[in-house]
Amino acid sequence: MAHNVWKIGGFALITYVLVMVFVVPMGPGLLELRSTEGTFISEEMERPIPEYFLTGFATHWNEAPDQLSVIVRSQSNLVQLQVIEVLDDTHARIGVSLPYSLPSKSWDVLINHPVDGTLLLENGLFLSDRFIDESLALPALAIEEFAADLPFHFPYQPRILETIRNLMLHVPMWFTMFVLMGIAFVASIKQLATSRSMVEDEKAEASVKAGLLFGILGLITCSVWARFTWGAWWVDDPQLNGALVTVLVYSGYIVLRNSIDNAPLRARLSAVYNLFAFIILIILLMVLPRFTESLHPGKGGNPGFNSYDLDSALRAAFYPAVIGWILIGIWMYRVNLRFTRLNKLLK
């Protein structure tokens, strides 16, 4: 019965997580404000003004096109831009009428919309042909921020976009590997303390084999994520390299076991190797990346998922994913342990 609890609980949670991953929509965001190199004749200003192309992500501008408001901001300076035309839900033509003397060349872009709420694109507008006058103060403009009027959705994150769904697959793989290698670490300590028994050696072997599977899955999901967010299947990142080295180190544990025929000697040497392997795991995946430059969130000065990133929608999927994959990992470890013991009895 206890054996089925791990399996049923794990698969139930993962089924729920997969439904969330593929069903929950993404929240809105801004991708870019790009110059079209053209101009638009404004009836209000009676002169041509530069035309820009605003691109949104998962936005709903067609639902209330006349209520789309576009604003640029530099420090405390706010300027309202002219919405020339809303082309569809995610594209609009914008007229940028700014003076040639400005307090800054770089401006944040904000939009207000009754459905999408207030969205921000940091440094979305850069005017390289303008003169800088830091003492210049533009006319005051008051804006009101809106909350999105949308159903349950995952938050928009620049660069990550739709691939944020991989958070529920990639990260829990490493959590599960840590748990399984931790079980093997404790079993190896007990094995060295009670070297006459092979029980703890069997536990360590079964746990490492299950943990290695999740480590390999973690490398595969990380490579896919890197391709879509960083532009390459593999990048020179300390955490990626450390993860690969960790998997190779634990692969060496399997090779060591298969190279020794004497069971007591194999158990002792494997236990010692396993202790060092777990220490290497901690150093490479938890210590070194925090003191070196890393593309991973939360490492090397790169901020991790904060209250905005890991909002209630992501928590509702991420935490069950971590628990679910760990339960499945423990179930696989228990199955592997039973298989190992049965195999020894048959021999």
**In sequence order, what are the residues at sequence separation of 6 or more whose Cβ sits closer than 8 angstroms to the Cβ of residue 234?**
223, 226, 240
Domain boundaries, the chain: 2-21+159-346, 29-132
Q: For residue 284, give the amino acid letter.
A: L
pLDDT value at residue 157: 81
- CA–CA distance, 213 with 121 (Å, rounded to integer): 40
- CA–CA distance, 269 with 257 (Å, rounded to integer): 8
Neighbours of 315 (CB within 10 A): 11
**Residue 56: strand, helix, or coil:** strand
Mapping DSSP onto H, E and C, the string for 325-339 reads HHHHHHHHHHHHHHH
**In sequence order, what are the residues at sequence separation of 6 or more whose Cβ sits closer than 8 angstroms to the Cβ of residue 295?**
230, 235, 237, 302
pLDDT value at residue 213: 92
Structure letter (DSSP) for residue 305: -
Pairing of strands 91-95, 29-42: unpaired
pLDDT value at residue 304: 47
pLDDT tens, position by position, 186-195: 988 888 888 6
pLDDT value at residue 263: 81
**Residue 98: strand, helix, or coil:** coil
- CA–CA distance, 174 with 225 (Å, rounded to integer): 14
Mark 21-50 as b/e (b = at least 16 C-beta within 10 Å). beebebbbbbbebeeeeeebeeeeeeeebb
How far CA 189 is from CA of 89, 148, 206, in Å, comes to 60, 53, 15
> Residue 123 belongs to what H/E stretch?
strand 117-126
pLDDT value at residue 212: 92
- CA–CA distance, 18 with 216 (Å, rounded to integer): 20
How far CA 209 is from CA of 189, 296, 339, in Å, comes to 18, 27, 12
pLDDT value at residue 306: 47
Where would I find the H helices in the chain? 2-23, 167-193, 199-229, 238-258, 263-282, 312-346
- CA–CA distance, 254 with 30 (Å, rounded to integer): 49
pLDDT tens, position by position, 56-86: 888 888 888 888 888 888 777 777 888 888 8
List, in sequence order, every residue forming a beta bridge with 32; answer none if it has no partner: 55
**In sequence order, what are the residues at sequence separation of 6 or more whose Cβ sits closer than 8 angstroms to the Cβ of residue 302?**
294, 295, 296
Please give the CATH topology (third level) of the domain spanning 29-132. Immunoglobulin-like (2.60.40)
pLDDT value at residue 326: 92
pLDDT value at residue 179: 93
**Which residues in the chain land under pLDDT 50?**
300-308
- CA–CA distance, 5 with 327 (Å, rounded to integer): 9
